[in-house]
């Protein structure tokens, strides 16, 4: 039985990871301050004797008694409206939070996994995006607080790996969806689904031609778990290469919900990436991983979740 610390374990991805480790028979310590997540995500885990929750801002000093085998750093706002609202906190959790977490990993001789993002590629000039691409990021733009926090976190992880010999893993997460997303977090899928379920106008930015590649949460969690258990220290993309436009996504959600919603268009936000699709060659070859859940059944499960929350 391993002992696992999940920073940001009350979030969308963090809570699913807590479940995965509990299902593997491990002891899980979840740390969160719910700045961008919800206690509801982990409420069903609280009766599990192998699950422990600590309310804490991870930018402060982190310490746990006893052994720690794995530390996963998922503590960060992850959608533009939220990191626009909390720009300083977003930078701090990517910089100070990563530093504190790596310090604990060094002290406990624990393996550390950093949750990076496809946003480090910015508005890409290369498509699809391989891990070798250095990105096209506006460091002083509105999205820079998130992009640069994650880029700094990657650099910090590699520094601890090279200088201190800490076992580090870096996952670059592409757009992921599924149950426990926040309805009001500003990302396309929860926004479109909730608008459709209420028969409200569905707001598509720009002309809707910008693309995303959508990975169901169960697939992503499996890829992260495989990366953690691998020997790969350099970044690995985890995402679904199934690319579609935002207009296509809006139309599919209207169809799946049977909604009477109309599609309206709003101005494209600053530095919004026009293209997003992972090159998962390394994930396939190193981890033996590729996504299994098709978009339609994944969206149906997600729609059912949001219906239950109305």
Kindly list the catalytic residues. Answer: 146
Does the N-terminal peptide bond of residue 11 adopt cis geometry, omega within 30 degrees of 0?
no
Strands (E), 137-249: 168-173, 176-177, 202-205, 211-213, 215-216, 236-238, 243-245
Counting beta carbons within 10 angstroms of the beta carbon of residue 135, is it exposed (0 to 12), middle (13 to 18) or buried (19 or more)?
Answer: middle
Rounded-to-integer distance, Cα 257 and Cα 201, Å? 14
Residue 294, H or E segment: none
Contacts 24+ apart (CB under 8 A), 190-197: 190/306, 192/249, 192/250, 192/253, 193/253, 193/257, 193/302, 193/303, 193/306, 194/306, 195/261, 196/253, 196/254, 196/257, 196/259, 196/261, 197/257, 197/259, 197/303, 197/306, 197/307, 197/310
Two tokens, residue 168: 């580090």
Give 255's contacts (C-beta < 8 A, 6+ positions apart): none
* Whole-number CA gyration radius for the chain: 19
Q: What is the DSSP letter of 122?
A: B
């Amino acid at each position: 039985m391993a002992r696992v610390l999940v920073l940001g374990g009350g979030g969308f991805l963090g809570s699913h990871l807590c479940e995965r480790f509990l299902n593997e028979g491990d002891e899980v310590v979840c740390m969160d301050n719910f700045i961008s997540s919800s206690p509801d995500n982990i409420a069903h885990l609280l009766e599990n004797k192998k699950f422990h929750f600590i309310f804490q801002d991870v930018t402060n000093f982190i310490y746990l008694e006893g052994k720690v085998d794995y530390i996963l750093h998922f503590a960060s706002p992850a959608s533009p409206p939220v990191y626009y609202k909390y720009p300083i906190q977003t930078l701090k959790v990517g910089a100070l939070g990563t530093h504190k977490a790596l310090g604990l990993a060094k002290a406990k001789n624990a393996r550390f996994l950093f949750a990076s993002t496809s946003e480090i590629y910015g508005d890409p000039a290369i498509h699809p995006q391989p891990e070798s691409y250095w990105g096209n990021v506006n460091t002083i733009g509105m999205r820079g607080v998130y992009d640069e926090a994650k880029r700094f976190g990657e650099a910090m992880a590699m520094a601890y790996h090279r200088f201190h010999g800490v076992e580090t893993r870096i996952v670059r997460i592409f757009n992921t969806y599924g149950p426990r997303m926040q309805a009001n977090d500003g990302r396309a899928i929860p926004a479109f689904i909730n608008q459709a379920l209420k028969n409200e106008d569905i707001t598509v930015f720009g002309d809707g031609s910008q693309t995303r590649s959508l990975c169901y949460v169960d697939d992503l969690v499996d890829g992260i778990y495989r990366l953690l258990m691998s020997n790969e220290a350099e970044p690995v993309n985890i995402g679904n290469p199934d690319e579609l436009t935002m207009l296509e996504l809006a139309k599919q959600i209207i169809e799946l919900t049977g909604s009477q919603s109309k599609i309206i268009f709003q101005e494209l936000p600053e530095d919004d990436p026009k293209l997003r699709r992972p090159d998962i060659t390394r994930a396939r070859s190193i981890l033996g991983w590729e996504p299994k859940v098709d978009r339609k059944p994944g969206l149906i499960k997600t729609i059912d979740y949001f219906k239950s929350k109305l």
